[in-house]
Amino acid sequence: MKKVYILISLTTLIIASFLFYWFELRPAEIMHDCSWVEVHENEKPANPGITKEEADKEKQECLDECKQDNRKICFCKFIDYSPKPPTPAEESKDWWRKATDKEYKFCLHNKGLK
């Protein structure tokens, strides 16, 4: 008779532990994981920039090419030929940010909650 009580107690403990995990620990872990979103930004290569003389030269070359080909519409007018300063290279970055409400709800639904 004692073995039956031990077996019933052990079965009850196992079922209670599973229910506690499934309805308490698992949702808490999912909600925690869905609260943050990992963001990745690719590296940016260095840009040597362009001086005013180089920009004027490029624009003139484009205009000359338009004149040579007798184009009615020259797209050189729409290209930005302004001088640009050089920019250094930037490494790729990874960081975490708080999830938006829409991302959070999607993550919860995706992982089986709500």
Which residue in 76, 78, 85 sits closest to 51, CA to CA?
85
Domain that holds residue 7: 1-40
Mean pLDDT (10-residue bins), the chain, 114 residues: 92 97 95 94 89 89 84 80 88 93 95 86
Tell me, what's the pLDDT at 71? Answer: 75
Q: How far apart are CA 55 and CA 36, in angstroms?
A: 45
Q: What would the two tokens of residue 24 be?
A: 């308490």
Q: Tokens representing 96? A: 């975490």
- Examine residue 108 and state whether it is found in any structural domain, yes or no: no
Same domain, 36 and 61: no
Number of domains within the chain = 2
Where would I find the H helices in 1-114?
2-20, 26-34, 52-68, 101-110
> Is 110 within a domain?
no
